[in-house]
């Protein structure tokens, strides 16, 4: 049986690209049916047909209500932000339509026996990665894995300089900073290349920052000028806004080639020529550029590395063609940015190399010639409650930028007698507020034996694999009570809903069929993981549960703040609390009484001060005595 062809798909915000690896180990780009390497990531929904690419892009100027754009920014959300003909679609369904078009192109070029790796921004959290994997499945692709875009770009760079095969003229390690500014997202990743090995050191990013934001600053500038001249804002009309965005994109491209340009605007029978210089454009977007530079500095700080240790600065993404980006990075790093790999092709080529690497691992051959070590882009923790504030908090167990695979084991103890259950909710994110993190799964140690004394040991382990899968294991020694939770992208559309959407997408059904599907299941959406409560960094709280009761899922566990490398230190045992009254908020009448006393005291003080101003002899202030 022939080995499937390894394929990489760069599923971009504005453009997508496909690459593959030939039998000699060289990457090649796949051209679309239009003969182009880049396919616009835009979808036109017609009643009996769904169209992706150039035709969809042109339709934004005449039928904007039927076109979905910049969908990548909404991945992980319940629905795409803009309605399509009055209906809200799941973003992964729209992305599946794009991937179906890309699949048709690659099958036409390579045949049906292909396996793919799809790229995502390094800063995508688990719900977004899950949604991307679901989109690939609905499109009928055999998805090997999801890989970070900067890692893929580094692989493409490693291929170009011979590091992947170990055949490079030098055996010296090379530190590379990948600055990836695409149409809708931004990533910066620090990697170390050695012949035959790629190791990620640190990563950071912003999934709501990209070239589109530069476009919209120009749109705002042009709309303001037009309104000042004619009293009309073109953005108030969807078609006028679409044309204005198109003009802004053309102006941005023009300013990358020359220092000045003029934008011609026509709307509602009026016209205006707006001159703009590269300096003006740089000034109006300075804060956007500074956000990328700040993130770059944070990555270096996270790795504990000065700029002098960075050997190469690799630019990826079409938005890095803006001169302001190059100039700012040269000033920040004192280095000439590297353009040895086409910024539009690097991610797709690297993803294809990663697909070959995974296929090589499956067949146990050594032809791939390299290994990859990644880090987790987001911290993993547990929702808890700080007893000092009674506020929910995210207690991080495995910090971000931890090399993968990683494991963490911690010993805990129960706090009270007869502890009957422990519920664990797993969070992904850096924010201390659990509401700002992604709840990616939960598990429970239920029906603990009656009569367990306080301070009974509980052991909890996190195992985070290189492919991003998390295993949570908890055990209560000497009780035969244990639980294992396998988190393998468990958020997102259910298997049933994926099965409902798959035939519609594979059959190239039109929007009529999509609309009927949505009307049949209005209540269907991405399943939410309930928010659970917990305790402080040194206490785990749960609600006692009788063996014949359904566990109360409004309570969960919490753990201490020690990082994985602190697990062997001698420290007081972490405890599990049964949620006693000591951790409950005070009754409402006590709160009301405290407020009444406080407000009364404040009123008396204010009255005395007022009297002292009028009769200082009778009502002296303390500092006047």
Spacing of C-alpha 176 from chain mean position: 22
Tell which of 373, 407, 440 closes a domain: 373
Q: What is the mean pLDDT of residues 195-200?
A: 84
Distance CA 12, CA 19 (A): 14
Give the pLDDT of residue 38: 95
pLDDT at 619 over 80: no
Give the pLDDT of residue 251: 96
Give the pLDDT of residue 172: 77
pLDDT at 453 over 80: yes
Q: CA-CA distances (angstroms) from residue 156 to 17, 181, 454? A: 14, 16, 56
3-state SS class at 291: helix
- CATH code of residue 71: 3.30.420.40
Per-residue pLDDT tens over the stretch 36-82:
999 999 999 988 889 999 999 999 889 999 999 999 999 988 899 99
252 in Cβ contact with 213 (< 8 Å): no
Q: Are residues 99 and 177 in the same domain?
A: yes
Cis before 405? omega within 30: yes
pLDDT at 157 over 70: yes
CA angle, residues 445, 447, 448, in degrees to nearest 5 = 75
Give the pLDDT of residue 327: 96
Nearest to 292 by CA among 191, 178, 199: 178
Distance CA 400, CA 379 (A): 4
Query: Among 242-246, 381-385, 400-404, which stretch is predicted with the lowest mean pLDDT?
Result: 381-385
pLDDT at 564 over 50: no
Give the pLDDT of residue 575: 37
Q: Are residues 71 and 154 in the same domain?
A: yes
Q: Are residues 352 and 397 in the same domain?
A: no
Residue 70 falls inside a structural domain: yes
Give the pLDDT of residue 194: 83
Give the pLDDT of residue 162: 74
118 in Cβ contact with 106 (< 8 Å): no
* DSSP string across 52-116: ESHHHHHHTTT-GGGEE--GGGGTTSSS-SS-BTTBPPPHHHHHHHHHHHHHHHHHHHH-S-EEE
Q: Are residues 96 and 71 in the same domain?
A: yes
Packed helices 91-110 and 495-506: angle between N→C axes, nearest 10 degrees: 50
Q: What is the mean pLDDT of residues 272-289?
A: 96
Confidence band for 363, pLDDT divided at 50, 70 and 90: low
Distance CA 219, CA 242 (A): 10
More confident residue, 15 or 499: 15
Confidence band for 417, pLDDT divided at 50, 70 and 90: confident
Give the pLDDT of residue 368: 55
Residue 275 falls inside a structural domain: no
Residue 227 falls inside a structural domain: no
CA angle, residues 187, 121, 359, in degrees to nearest 5 = 125
Q: What is the mean pLDDT of residues 177-206?
A: 90
Residue-wise burial string across 356-394, b where 16 or more C-beta atoms lie within 10 A, e elsewhere? bbbbbeeeeeeebbbebbbbbbbbbbbbbbbbeeeebbb
Task: Please count the structural domains in the chain.
Answer: 3
Give the pLDDT of residue 293: 96
pLDDT at 569 over 90: no
Per-residue pLDDT tens over the stretch 83-95:
998 889 999 999 9
Give the pLDDT of residue 415: 67
Q: Are residues 424 and 314 in the same domain?
A: no
Per-residue pLDDT tens over the stretch 511-542:
888 888 877 655 444 333 333 223 333 333 33
Q: Are residues 391 and 336 in the same domain?
A: no
Q: Could you tell me the pTM of the whole model? A: 0.76
Confidence band for 328, pLDDT divided at 50, 70 and 90: very high
Q: Are residues 202 and 345 in the same domain?
A: yes
DSSP summary character for residue 281: H
In sequence order, the 6+-apart residues with CB closer than 8 A to the CB of 119 are 8, 9, 10, 11, 146, 147, 148, 149, 152, 347, 348, 350, 351
Confidence band for 543, pLDDT divided at 50, 70 and 90: very low
pLDDT, averaged across the chain: 80
Work out the percent of the chain whose per-residue pLDDT is above 90: 44
More confident residue, 158 or 469: 158
Q: Are residues 32 and 119 in the same domain?
A: yes
Query: Among 103-112, 234-243, 497-506, which stretch is predicted with the lowest mean pLDDT?
Result: 497-506
- CATH code of residue 452: 2.60.34.10
Residue 264 falls inside a structural domain: no
Distance CA 354, CA 37 (A): 20
Q: Are residues 355 and 470 in the same domain?
A: no
Tell which of 373, 390, 417 closes a domain: 373
Residue 385 falls inside a structural domain: yes
pLDDT at 6 over 60: yes
In sequence order, the 6+-apart residues with CB closer than 8 A to the CB of 343 are 315, 316, 317, 318, 320, 321
How does strand 380-386 pair with strand 260-267? unpaired
pLDDT at 285 over 70: yes
Give the pLDDT of residue 362: 62
Residue 242 falls inside a structural domain: no
How does strand 371-373 pair with strand 197-206? parallel
Residue 549 falls inside a structural domain: yes
- For 26-42, give the secondary structure using H, E and C: CEEECCCCCCCCCEECC
Q: Are residues 449 and 402 in the same domain?
A: yes
Q: Are residues 606 and 548 in the same domain?
A: no
Give the pLDDT of residue 510: 77
Domain with 616 in it? 588-624
pLDDT at 207 over 80: yes
Residue 144 falls inside a structural domain: yes
Tell which of 373, 395, 411 closes a domain: 373
Q: Are residues 139 and 27 in the same domain?
A: yes
Give the pLDDT of residue 581: 34
Distance CA 581, CA 66 (A): 56
Distance CA 528, CA 183 (A): 29
């Amino acid at each position: 049986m022939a080995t499937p062809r390894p394929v990489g798909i760069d599923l971009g915000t504005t453009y997508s690209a496909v690459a593959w690896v030939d039998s000699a180990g060289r990457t090649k780009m796949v051209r679309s049916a239009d003969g182009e390497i880049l396919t616009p990531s835009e979808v036109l929904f017609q009643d009996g047909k769904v169209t992706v690419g150039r035709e969809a892009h042109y339709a934004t100027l005449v039928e904007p209500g039927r076109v979905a754009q910049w969908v990548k920014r909404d991945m992980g959300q319940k629905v795409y932000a803009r309605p399509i003909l009055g209906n809200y679609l799941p973003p992964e369904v729209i992305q599946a339509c794009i991937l179906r078009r890309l699949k048709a192109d690659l099958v036409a070029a390579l045949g049906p026996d292909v396996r793919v790796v799809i790229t995502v921004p390094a800063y995508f959290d688990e719900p977004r990665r899950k949604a991307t994997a679901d989109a690939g499945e609905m499109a009928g692709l055999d998805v090997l894995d999801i890989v970070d875009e900067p890692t893929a770009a580094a692989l493409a760079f490693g291929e170009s300089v011979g590091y992947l095969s170990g055949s490079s003229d030098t055996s010296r390690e090379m530190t590379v900073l990948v600055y990836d500014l695409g149409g809708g997202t931004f990533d910066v990743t620090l990697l170390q290349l050695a012949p035959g090995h790629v190791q990620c050191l640190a990563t950071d990013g912003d999934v709501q920052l990209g070239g589109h934001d530069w476009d919209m600053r120009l749109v705002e500038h042009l709309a303001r000028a037009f309104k000042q001249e004619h009293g009309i804002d073109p953005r108030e009309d969807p078609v006028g806004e679409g044309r204005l965005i198109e003009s802004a994109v053309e102006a941005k491209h023009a300013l990358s080639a020359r220092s000045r340009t003029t934008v011609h605007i026509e709307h509602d029978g009026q016209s205006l020529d707006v001159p703009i210089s590269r300096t003006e454009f740089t000034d109006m977007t300075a804060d956007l550029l500074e956000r990328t530079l700040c993130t770059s500095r944070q990555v270096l700080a996270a790795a504990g590395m000065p700029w002098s240790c960075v050997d190469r600065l690799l630019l990826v993404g079409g938005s890095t063609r803006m001169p302001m980006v190059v100039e700012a990075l040269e000033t920040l790093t004192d280095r000439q940015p590297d353009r040895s790999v086409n910024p539009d092709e690097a991610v797709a080529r690297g993803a294809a190399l990663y697909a070959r690497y995974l296929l090589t691992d499956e067949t146990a051959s050594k032809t791939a010639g390299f290994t990859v070590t990644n880090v987790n882009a987001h911290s993993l923790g547990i929702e808890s409650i700080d007893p000092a504030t009674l506020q929910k908090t995210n207690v991080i167990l495995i910090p971000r930028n931890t090399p993968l695979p990683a494991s963490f084991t911690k010993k805990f103890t129960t706090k009270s007698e007869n502890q009957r259950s422990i519920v664990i909710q797993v969070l992904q994110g850096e924010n201390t507020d659990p509401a700002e993190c992604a709840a990616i799964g939960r598990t429970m140690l239920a029906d603990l034996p009656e009569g367990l004394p306080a301070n009974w040991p509980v052991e909890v382990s996190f195992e985070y694999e290189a492919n991003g899968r998390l295993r949570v294991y908890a055990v209560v020694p000497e009780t035969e009570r244990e639980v294992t939770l396998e988190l393998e992208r468990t958020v997102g559309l259910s298997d049933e809903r994926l099965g409902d959407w798959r035939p519609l997408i594979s059959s190239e059904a039109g929007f009529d069929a999509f609309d009927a599907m949505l009307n049949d299941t209005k209540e269907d959406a991405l399943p939410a993981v309930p928010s659970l409560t917990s305790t402080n960094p040194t206490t785990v709280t749960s609600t006692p549960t009788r063996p014949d009761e359904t566990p109360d899922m409004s309570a969960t566990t919490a753990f201490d703040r020690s990082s994985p490398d602190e697990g062997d230190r001698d420290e007081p045992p972490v405890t599990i609390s049964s949620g006693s009254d000591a951790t409950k908020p005070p009754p409402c009448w006590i709160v009301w009484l405290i407020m009444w006393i406080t407000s009364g005291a404040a009123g008396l003080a204010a009255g005395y001060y007022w009297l002292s101003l009028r009769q200082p002899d009778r009502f002296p202030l303390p500092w006047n005595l």
